[in-house]
Amino acid sequence: MNTAAAPKKQRQSNLELLRIVSMVFVMVAHVNMYALPYPSAQDIAASPVLGFSRFLVHSLVAVCDNAFILISGWFGIRPKARRFTEFLFQIVFISLVLVFLFGNFKGWGPGHWVMTLGGFQYWYIKAYIVLYVFVPVLNAFKESASRKQYAGMLAAFYAVQTLYGWFLGDGAGFSRGFSPLSLIGLYLLGGYIRQYVPWQKWKTGTYTLGYLAGAVLSTLFAFIPAKAGLNWYNIVYANSSPVVLFTSVCFFLAFATLKMKSVPWINTMAGSALAIYLVHYHECLLHPYFMDPARKWFLEESLGVFLLRTGAMLAGYVVFSFLLDRVRILAWKGILLLGENKSRPAKA
């Protein structure tokens, strides 16, 4: 009998890199359309190239939320109590550290502490927790359904979401794709693509072209109305938009087909990718230390200076988030070790 230990399965660095890129794209999206003023008809008339470029950038990064969940659906989530507890600990640990480092406690009441302790200011976290609760049922469906049943369910789901969660405005709990229901659909979609779609038939370049084509289409759908004084942001950039969904899938598959060796530093950083979202979107940082500085630089400095300062700020957030999460990992390991020591029977 061969007693040699089985080789440890290597993580796929191409999709681990996608986790990092997706979270960086989240920051870029929050700067471009939330921190900066929305491009008006007057802004576009004064500088059409800048206006078009801002819409193009947003079209390129709007895939971030969908792509991150497609990864979960691709690999599948195997729910475990310890893993879920660690996930909650990450939210609480990072939230509390940021409160004590950057919090202004004047006027704080119980509501602020509940929000901070639970991380409830993060829509994505709430939606992901709901997804996690339903994962056992979703996994059972993925494993037991025939291809026809699986495809039929997805077709029905996206038909309903497109109708009620996008085309007719918003309803039936879809919140334009920013909801637990939409994350459930993406989770199942990721699993279906891996299991049934011949995604390896095309190369990374083909999917990249699809991604760029989708981004250009979204840009035109947003830029042309804006030039006429109309704000179609909620329509064009909804996560439930068919164009955004198509662009997201192409973006995801461009990474899935990317040939990469296992890169340790990428794998390590990817384990802390969610911390980028938790840090920059935290109540104590989002406006005073993220959105307000970016807006000030955009309005008062040249475009070159704005890009340099904003790029440096985003890089700083990535580094700080990673370092803070490394501390969180050490704290979690210490808690586990303490729990193991307490559970051991005392020596006679």
Give the model confidence (pLDDT) of 140-191 as tens digits.
999 999 999 999 999 999 999 999 999 887 777 888 999 999 999 999 999 9
Q: Which pLDDT score, from 0 to 100, does residue 1 have? A: 34
pLDDT for 192 beyond 60: yes
CA–CA separation, 318 and 312 (whole Å): 10
Round the average pLDDT of the chain to a whole number and report it.
91
CA–CA separation, 252 and 47 (whole Å): 33
Over the stretch 304-348, which tens digit does the pLDDT of each residue have? 999 999 999 999 999 999 999 999 999 999 999 887 776 666 554
Q: Which pLDDT score, from 0 to 100, does residue 7 have? A: 42
Q: Which pLDDT score, from 0 to 100, does residue 257 have? A: 97
Confidence of residue 2 (pLDDT cuts 50, 70, 90): very low
The lowest-confidence range among 2-11, 53-62, 277-286, 313-322 is 2-11
Indicate whether this model's pTM tops 0.85.
yes
Over the stretch 130-151, which tens digit does the pLDDT of each residue have? 999 999 999 999 999 999 999 9
* 190: its two tokens: 């990721």
Higher pLDDT, 55 or 100: 55
Mean pLDDT of 35-47: 95
Tokens 């979204």 correspond to 218
Higher pLDDT, 110 or 337: 337
For every residue of the chain, which 3-state class applies, written as one string? CCCCCCCCCCCCHHHHHHHHHHHHHHHHHHHHHHHCCCCCHHHHHHCHHHHHHHHHHHHHHCCHHHHHHHHHHHHCCCCCHHHHHHHHHHHHHHHHHHHHHHCCCCCCCHHHHHHHHHCCCCHHHHHHHHHHHHHHHHHHHHHHCCHHHHHHHHHHHHHHHHHHHHHCCCCCCCHHHCCHHHHHHHHHHHHHHHHHCCHHHCCHHHHHHHHHHHHHHHHHHHHHHHHCCCCCHHHHCCCCCHHHHHHHHHHHHHHHCCCCCCCHHHHHHHCCHHHHHHHHCCCCCHHHHHHHHHHHHHHHCCHHHHHHHHHHHHHHHHHHHHHHHHHHHHHHHHHHHHHHHHHCCCCC
Q: Which amino acid is at 308?
A: L
Neighbouring C-alpha atoms within 13 Å toward the C-beta of 70: 27
Nearest alpha carbon to residue 182 among 192, 190, 171, 174: 174
Residue 279 near residue 321, CB atoms below 8 Å: yes
pLDDT for 255 beyond 90: yes
Q: Which pLDDT score, from 0 to 100, does residue 338 have? A: 86
Tokens 């990721």 correspond to 190
Per-residue burial over 161-173, b = 16 or more CB atoms within 10 Å of its CB, e = otherwise: bbebbbeeebeee
Q: Which pLDDT score, from 0 to 100, does residue 345 have? A: 63
CA–CA separation, 173 and 170 (whole Å): 8
